[in-house]
Amino acid sequence: MNKHYLVDTDILYDHLTHNEKNKRSFLTTLMTKGECFTTVLNASELFFSARTDEEKLAIKKLLYALKILGLNSRYSLEIPQYTNKFNNYRECLFYIVAEKNNLIIATNTPSKYNFGKVKVITQKKAHGKSEK
């Protein structure tokens, strides 16, 4: 059964800066296990931090390999039930997108999301015994 992952910006950034030829990036590993998604906010964060045309091209190539989810206005209706769990609206919306679309969150900072019904994985968990 293919899994469906919502990939956080930190994983995307790590993939872009990954330079170990003999080892797959975490994102590449996820892509071999299932379908990878991210949000328009995460994609925008990458472009906002890009400084050169080469970096922008690398981001475009990466994003073509993923499914980019937009933000439905109905997601904002869920914000009030999570305001005490998040430091900012971006993390809150990211969690809501995962929840509403039955996606597993892939991130390097699981503590931000690891409290509810959405499954959260990190590189260590994905390579260990925690992911089923």
14-35: pLDDT as tens digits: 999 988 887 899 999 999 999 9
Q: What is d(CA 105, CA 6) in angstroms, rounded to the nearest whole number?
A: 5
What tens digit of pLDDT does each residue of 37-90 get?
999 999 999 999 999 999 999 999 999 999 999 999 999 999 999 989 999 999
3-121 topology per CATH: Rossmann fold (3.40.50)
Is residue 12 within 8 A of residue 6, CB to CB? The reply is no
For residue 72, what are its two tokens? 């439905």
Please state the pTM of the whole predicted model.
Answer: 0.90
